[in-house]
Chains A and B, each alone.
Chain A
Amino acid sequence: MARLEKYSEEERNHLLSLSCQGFTTAPFVSGPPLSQRKVALISTAGLHLRNDRPFGLGAADYRLIPKGAASADLVMSHISTNFDRTGFQMDHNLVFPLERLCELEEQGFIGSVADYHYSFMGATDPEQMQDTAKNVAEIMKKEGVNAVLLVPV
Chain B
Amino acid sequence: MALKLLESSRGPLLEDFPEDAPDMTDQPQAVLQIACPVSFGPKKENLSAKELLLELFSEEFFQMNTWHEQALSKNKKTTTGISGLTPEAAVEFLSAFVRVEIVDNNIGNISVADGLRMAAEDIKAFYFDAVSAQPGQPTDSKSLAEWFWGQTSAAQVINEVRKISLKGDSKEMQLLGKLLLVPRNQMHRFKD
Chain A hits for B166, CB < 8 A:
none
Partner of B118, one of A2, A26, A54, A104: A54
Closest chain B residue to A54 by CB distance? B82
Closest chain A residue to B11 by CB distance? A28
Interface of A is mostly: loop
* B43 interface residue per 8 A CB criterion: no
* B104 interface residue per 8 A CB criterion: no
C-alpha gap A42/B19 in the complex (Å)? 21
* B175 interface residue per 8 A CB criterion: yes
* B47 interface residue per 8 A CB criterion: no
Q: Which of B125-158 contact A (CB under 8 A)?
A: 125, 128-129, 132, 139-141, 144-145
On whether the beta carbons of A85 and B79 are closer than 8 Å, the reply is yes
For chain B, give the interface size range: 35 or more
Partner of B180, one of A30, A33, A79, A87: A79
Closest chain A residue to B188 by CB distance? A10
Shortest Cβ distance from residue A31 to the other chain B in the assembled complex, whole angstroms: 7
Contact flags A1-44 to B (C-beta < 8 A → 1, else 0): 11100101011001000000000001010110110010100000
* B10 interface residue per 8 A CB criterion: yes
Contact flags A46-81 to B (C-beta < 8 A → 1, else 0): 000010001011000000000000011001110111
* B76 interface residue per 8 A CB criterion: yes
C-alpha gap A88/B78 in the complex (Å)? 11
Closest chain A residue to B181 by CB distance? A81
Q: Which of B167-192 contact A (CB under 8 A)?
A: 172, 175, 179-185, 187
Chain B hits for A79, CB < 8 A:
117, 180
Q: A79-B180, A87-B141 are in contact. List 15 more A-B contacts (CB 8 A).
A: A2-B21, A6-B21, A10-B187, A54-B82, A56-B114, A57-B172, A57-B180, A80-B180, A81-B179, A81-B182, A82-B183, A82-B184, A84-B145, A86-B145, A149-B3
Q: Please report A residues at the B interface, Cβ cutoff 8 Å.
A: 1-3, 6, 8, 10-11, 14, 26, 28, 30-31, 33-34, 37, 39, 50, 54, 56-57, 71-72, 75-77, 79-82, 84-90, 104, 109-110, 147, 149
Q: Please report B residues at the A interface, Cβ cutoff 8 Å.
A: 2-4, 6-12, 16-17, 19-21, 23, 25, 76-84, 110, 114, 117-118, 120-121, 124-125, 128-129, 132, 139-141, 144-145, 172, 175, 179-185, 187
Q: List 7 A-B contacts (CB under 8 A).
A: A1-B20, A33-B7, A37-B6, A39-B3, A50-B81, A82-B183, A86-B140
